[in-house]
Amino acid sequence: MTRTMTDVRAAIEVRRTRLAAEPFLRSLDASSSIDDLRAFVPHLYFYVFAFQDMLRLAHARVTDPKLREIARRHREEDAGHERWFAFDMAELGTTRDVVWVFSAEHELTRDVSYELVAELLRATDDRVRVAFPLVLEALGSVYFPRVVRLLERAGTGEKLRYFARSHQEVEENHDVFSAEGEQALNGIAFDEAVFADAMAMVDRCFAHGERLAAHLERHRAASVGGT
């Protein structure tokens, strides 16, 4: 049986749906308080900035010309978004310095980010390397709509750039998700061994994502409990 990237993406969607059921995501769905956002967003600092390196390394390590072009588009279409995040941190009054980012308080976010980088570095096939950014996009797609809706319910966030509906729309309209891009992606074929590697990578990455979601919920809940 021939496996394709369509099968990988189906598995990603299953795990994305499961992640959306985590208590943290349900809390975002129920919240209309910007204080909830302020409680957890600093704990995304290292991940947001490391995300750029993950895409850069994915592109750098792909050797097949056609697959490398897909990885290049992923990288270029997300370039600079960490600056939007830094802008929003200033707007929200939640800016953190590099000492805090490398402190024990931010350790779990760093660990999750390192684990994700390790998934990419251990990949031995370009097809798995191309699937990796799809996982990152799916992880982000669980958060963005919920944060945007929270801000809209709170009646604020108009000045934000990273946590903005316009950013959500940019993500949804990436060229790689155009009709042509979808055709190129979905046509990527896998042999059974590489497909198994891709499936294992998807599962491990989402397990890391669930771990981060639990961490963010602890900070959000602690903030609510302390008010």
Domain boundaries, the chain: 3-225
**Is residue 211 scored above 90 in pLDDT?**
yes
- In this prediction, residues 133-162 reach a mean pLDDT of 90
Q: Please measure the distance between the N-terminal and C-terminal CA atoms of the chain and give it in whole angstroms.
A: 56
CATH of the domain spanning 3-225: 1.20.910.10
CB 135 within 8 A of CB 12: yes
For residue 225, the model assigns a pLDDT of: 60
Pull the structure tokens for residue 61.
């390590």
The 3-state DSSP class for residue 4 equals: strand
CB 47 within 8 A of CB 113: yes
pLDDT > 90 in the chain, percent:
71
**DSSP string across 72-84:** HHHHHHHTTHHHH
Read off the pLDDT of residues 153-177 as tens digits, 9 standing for 90 and up: 998 878 898 988 776 665 555 555 4
Beta bridge partners of 189: 4
Mean pLDDT over the full length of the chain: 90
Beta bridge partners of 190: 3
Q: Round to whole Å and give the CA distance between 14 and 17.
A: 5
- Extended beta strands in the chain, E state: 3-4, 189-190
HSE of 21, CA atoms in CB hemisphere, 13 A: 6
For residue 227, the model assigns a pLDDT of: 44
Pull the structure tokens for residue 36.
């909830």
For residue 112, the model assigns a pLDDT of: 97
For residue 79, the model assigns a pLDDT of: 86
Q: Round to whole Å and give the CA distance between 55 and 163.
A: 20
Determine which of 78-82, 85-89, 152-156, 172-176 has the lowest per-residue pLDDT on average: 172-176
Q: Round to whole Å and give the CA distance between 156 and 29.
A: 16
Q: Identify residue 46 by its one-letter amino acid code.
A: F
CB 47 within 8 A of CB 212: yes
Q: Round to whole Å and give the CA distance between 210 and 139.
A: 10
**Is residue 134 scored above 60 in pLDDT?**
yes
Determine which of 89-103, 142-156, 173-187 has the lowest per-residue pLDDT on average: 173-187
